[in-house]
Amino acid sequence: MLLKMLIGVVDKVMVGQLGESAIAGVGVAEQLVFFLLMLFSSISAGVNALASQCVGAGRFERLRPIFGSAMTAGFVSAIFFNAVFYIYPGELLALLGANAEIAAAGTVYLKITSFSIVSITLTFMMTAVFRAFADNKTPMYASLAAIVINTALAFIFIFGMKLGVAGAGFAALTARLSELFIMAYLFERRKARTTLSIRDSFSFDKKMSGEIFRLGWPVTLDMLVWQLAAVASTLMILKLGTASAGANEVIKMMQGVALMPVVGIAMAASSLVGQSLGRGDFDGAKRLAARILSVSFILALFISILTALFAHKIPAIFNFSAETCSLAAGSILIICAFQALFVFNICIPNILRTGGDSRAIVYISGSSMWLAGIPLAYLLGIKYGFGLYGVIIGANIGETIKSVFFYLRFRRGVWIKKLI
C-alpha cells in the first residue's frame, strides 16, 4: 500500500518543481481518480470479507464466482468512468472549484491517467484475493515494479523530454498498466494455491454478485460520504488561494505516507480476522483485532513524532514560495498532533467489515464529518479567518470524534460472526 501511494508521491515531488499550480492541478485530478476507486472499494471489500472466510472455512469452491463477479463488475464500471473522465475533465475539475490555472494542469493529467482506471480496478480485485490468503508479498512485488517504472519514466518525461505535467501522467499510466500485467502473471503463477486463474475473471454469478453488493454497498456509501467531505474541504482550501492549495497537496502527501503503513497492516490483518471468524474462532478473532489496534497505534505515534521533527524541511524539496513552505510546515505539525488517533478510523472499519458490520461505518463516518468536521473547518478556516490552519484543525477534530465512536462500536462486538 505504501508503494502504491508512492506512485502519486513521486509525481507530486517532481511536478512540485513546476510550481504550486502544477502540483495543485495534479492533486485535484488524482482526487477524482481516487474518488472513483473508493466507489470500487465496495466490490473489493465484499470480495475480501467473503473470500477470507471461505479460506478460513476451507470452502475454496466458492472463490471462483466471488472473483469472477468482482472482476466483471469492476471492468464494466471502469470502462464507463474512463470515458467520462477523458471526455469531461475540465468540467469535473471545475466542480471541485479549481481555478483556470489549476484546471489547465489538472485536465492534461486527468485525460492521460483516465486510461489507468481499468488497470487500477482489476489490480484492486486481484489484491483482495491475495489478501484473503494472507499473501501480501505478491501484490507488493507488482507495486515495487510499478514504483520503479514510474520513478524512472517521470524523471525522463518531466525533465529530460520537458513534457511537464503530461510527462507525469504518461509515467503514472505506464506504471499502472505494468502493475496490472505483472499482477496477472503472478496471479496465474499462484493458481495452485488460490485455486483461481485469470480465466475465472469471466465466472460471473448473479447471486454471488448480490452477496458482494450486500456486504459492499455500505463501504461505497461510506467512501462517498468521506470523499464528499474531502471535496468540501478542497473547495474551502481553493478559495484561500494557490499558496494554500499547493501546501494542501504536500499535507495530503505526507499524511498519506505516514498512515499508509497502518492501512497496510489493517488490510492484511483483517484477512486473518476473517479467517478466524470463518473457522468459528471468535476469541482468537477478538485477540487478534485488539493486537492490530495496539501495534498500529504505536506505529502511527512513532511516525507522527518522526514527521514532526522534519516538518520544516519537507516543504523545501518543492519549488514553492516562502509563504507556501511556511503554510505546509505549520500544517504538518498540526496533523502530527492528531493522526495517531486516526488509527481507529483506519483499522476498526476493516475489522467491522470482516464480520459484515458495515452499516455502522456509514453512520459513524457521515455524522462525524458532516455534523462536526466540515462545519468546524468552515467556521475556523473561512468564517473566523484562520485560513488553512483553521480548515485543517476543524477537519481533524471531526476525525478525532469519529475515532471515539468507532472504538465504542468495536467494543460492542457486533462484528463477531460468521458470514458463510
Residue identified by cell 473508493 is 38
**Is 337 part of a structural domain of the chain?**
yes
* Residue 379, burial from CB neighbour count under 10 angstroms (0-12, 13-18, 19+): middle
Cell 494542501 belongs to residue? 248
Question: pLDDT tens-digit profile of 31-88?
Answer: 787 777 766 776 777 787 788 888 888 888 888 888 888 888 889 888 998 999 999 9
All cell numbers assigned to 231: 471535496
With beta carbons less than 8 A apart as the criterion, state whether 77 and 161 touch. Answer: no
Write out the residue range of the structural domain in which residue 348 sits. 2-412
Q: Is the distance from CB of 279 to CB of 57 less than 8 angstroms?
A: yes
3-state SS assignment for residue 126: helix
pLDDT of residue 377: 93
Residue 380 near residue 390 (C-beta atoms within 8 A) = yes
Per the domain annotation, does 49 fall within a domain?
yes
Place of cell 502504491: 4
Confidence (pLDDT) at 379: 95
How many angstroms separate the first and last alpha carbons of the chain?
28
C-alpha to C-alpha distance for 414 and 363, rounded to whole angstroms? 15
DSSP H helices, 16-136, are: 20-57, 63-87, 89-95, 100-113, 117-132
Among the residue ranges 13-27, 32-46, 69-83, 251-265, the one predicted with the least confidence is 32-46
* Cα(100)–Cα(103) distance, integer angstroms: 5
- Give, in degrees to the nearest 5, the angle at Cα 3 between 401 and 175: 125
Q: Which amino acid is at 192?
A: A
Q: Which amino acid is at 55?
A: V
Q: Distance between CA atoms of 370 and 366, rounded to whole angstroms?
A: 6
* pLDDT tens sequence across 281-333: 889 889 989 988 998 899 889 989 998 998 888 888 888 888 888 999 999 99
In a domain, 8, yes or no: yes
Q: Is the pLDDT of residue 419 over 90?
A: no
Mean pLDDT, the chain, whole residue set: 84
Residue 139 has pLDDT above 80, yes or no: yes
134: left (phi over 0), alpha (psi -120 to 50) or beta: left
Query: Is residue 298, in this structure, part of any structural domain at all?
Result: yes
Residue 420 lies in a domain: no
- Could you tell me the pLDDT band of residue 243, with boundaries at 50, 70 and 90? confident
Strands (E), 119-267: none
pTM of the model: 0.67
Residue entry with cell 512485488: 141
* 385 part of a folded domain: yes
Res. 178 pLDDT band, cuts 50 70 90: very high
pLDDT of residue 73: 84
Query: Per-residue pLDDT for 97 more than 80?
Result: no
pLDDT score recorded for residue 36? 72
CB 336 within 8 A of CB 255: no
Judged against a pLDDT cut of 70, whether residue 216 lies above it is answered with: no
pLDDT of residue 190: 87
Closest to 130 (Cα-Cα) out of 1, 217, 223, 26: 1
Among the listed ranges 131-145, 146-160, 260-274, which one has the minimum average pLDDT value? 260-274
Rounded Cα–Cα distance for residues 49 and 43 (Å): 10
295: Cβ contacts below 8 Å, ≥ 6 apart = 265
Please check the confidence at residue 366 and state whether its pLDDT lies above 90: no
Domain assignment of residue 344, yes or no: yes
d(CA 172, CA 26): 11
Any domain includes 268? yes
Highest-pLDDT range among 130-144, 275-289, 395-409:
395-409
If we measure between CA atoms, which residue out of 219, 162, 202, 136 comes closest to residue 14? 162
- Within 8 A by CB and 6+ apart from 325, the residues are 247, 315, 316, 318
d(CA 144, CA 150): 10
With H, G, I as helix, E, B as strand and everything else as coil, classify residue 280: coil
Q: Which of 17-26, 196-205, 218-227 has the lowest mean pLDDT?
A: 218-227
Where is average pLDDT lowest: 95-99, 241-245, 407-411? 95-99
| pLDDT value of position 8 | 60
Are the C-beta atoms of 252 and 234 separated by less than 8 Å?
no
Give the count of alpha carbons within 13 A of 307, CB side only. Answer: 29
CB-based contact 291:273 (threshold 8 Å): no
Using pLDDT thresholds of 50, 70 and 90, give the confidence band for residue 1. Answer: low
User: Domain count of the chain?
Assistant: 1
